[in-house]
Structure 1
């Protein structure tokens, strides 16, 4: 008799850990079209971050039967809130000169996302605004970037079309038709969710300020590099606690040094 399938690794269960996040969508029709793209590929978790117009009749019209995906779409004010519980976040974007991320093709990105979701992690694929894409501060929340190799002479890809491309690749991965790429370094299965990582980054920024690390220079460049380093590392909870303990001691010593100077 054939052994029963593990329900935790079934395509539906794994798909439930995959979310498509639309940030600052300007045209409600694109939200509806994205919902339709998800449903045709067996996905259903749509997350909206600060949409300009939603709910809207155009979204319902373009959903064309994916009304359940629209109705269940979660809404957040910021991307940080939308991915707070995620272990792995991919930013679907054009190349960025300022925020250097590992760049993956859609098939490799889908395989990596599937591997993380299969292991029980929450995963987000993030799409930016139609005209301007994701802001640098939003890209800094991502572990890697996904770039669709469109025609360089006409690379303007509609938001919903880009969602369809990635949803299709995720579908192939869910059906077991895509091998996990060995070239893509996995995020640790024990990696902390983004909310804990953001708490660490906030304390790190405060500590660097307290010890005058920047010496009057703007802190943005150093923090971008440090964020990239720690995101790439895939810190677990024990490592974050250790680092935050070190930062707390550094802050305490900086405060004591300041008090001595004031005497």
Structure 2
């Protein structure tokens, strides 16, 4: 199975946490992280977990989003709210497309689920590499455990077809370095400041959806570094 963990941000219902633990067990996922849960009693979670009780007993509880994803090389967010063409933040893919892309990832993946009442905030979505949505009818709000089950199933169904010996995936640190140079280049060319955050998000979307390898990101960083150095020397 893939090297993935499930992260639930500020869960409000213990029963949903138990149900997610149960479907994690169904589909061979083992690591569960809760971020600042809004309930204290785990009794209902344990009732709903059934044979996934060991996942609850081994789960970790942390205080912040940053702690939960600190060791992740690739963060997959989830949302029921998709954007229009102009909303680059909420550019989404389906679970089927996700598993096609995961073939190129052999680093640590975080599967991120939001609050039952409000999902993930825009600020939290900004920290993700890619965002998944599940196509539905006009009533789009799935229970979080149902959404998790669909995504876990798609991953499990496809994992046997994944290539062994895939190239090393680019790390989060490498992707952030590429983004850092992209930001510097925008400054070098006097790109309008009010458009910079959109351009940076588009660049992040592109390198995330490409699932580029460690070798590819190394080359990209080198090219961006040379561009920045050239522009800096020209602007002196």
Q: Shorter-chain TM-score: what band? A: 0.7 to 0.9
Q: Give yes or no for contact 2:178–2:220 (8 Å, CA) kept in 1.
A: yes
Give the equivalent residue in structure 2 for 1:191: 169
Separation in 2, partners of 1:70, 1:222: 41
Separation in 1, partners of 2:107, 2:16: 28
> Taking structure 1 as reference, are residues 216 and 41 closer, same or farther at Cα in structure 2, changes over 3 Å only?
closer
| 1:111-260 equivalence runs, <5 A | 111-113=100-102, 115-116=103-104, 120-152=106-138, 154-174=139-159, 176=160, 189-202=167-180, 204-205=182-183, 207=184, 211=188, 213-217=190-194, 219-233=196-210, 234=212, 236=214, 237-239=217-219, 241-243=221-223, 245-246=225-226, 249=229, 257=236
The Cα of 1:126 is off from its aligned counterpart by: 2.2
Q: Give yes or no for contact 1:24–1:51 (8 Å, CA) kept in 2.
A: yes
1:43 equivalent to 2:18? Answer no
Separation in 2, partners of 1:202, 1:253: 18
> Taking structure 1 as reference, are residues 54 and 218 closer, same or farther at Cα in structure 2, changes over 3 Å only?
farther
> Taking structure 1 as reference, are residues 47 and 193 closer, same or farther at Cα in structure 2, changes over 3 Å only?
farther
Structure with the greater alpha carbon radius of gyration? 1
> Taking structure 1 as reference, are residues 143 and 192 closer, same or farther at Cα in structure 2, changes over 3 Å only?
same
Q: TM-score, normalised by structure 2?
A: 0.73
Q: Which one of 56, 73, 91 corresponds to residue 101 of structure 1?
A: 91
SS of residue matched to 2:111: strand
Q: TM-score, normalised by structure 1?
A: 0.67
Q: Please, what is the CA RMSD of the aligned residues?
A: 3.5
The Cα of 1:251 is off from its aligned counterpart by: 9.4
The Cα of 1:38 is off from its aligned counterpart by: 0.7
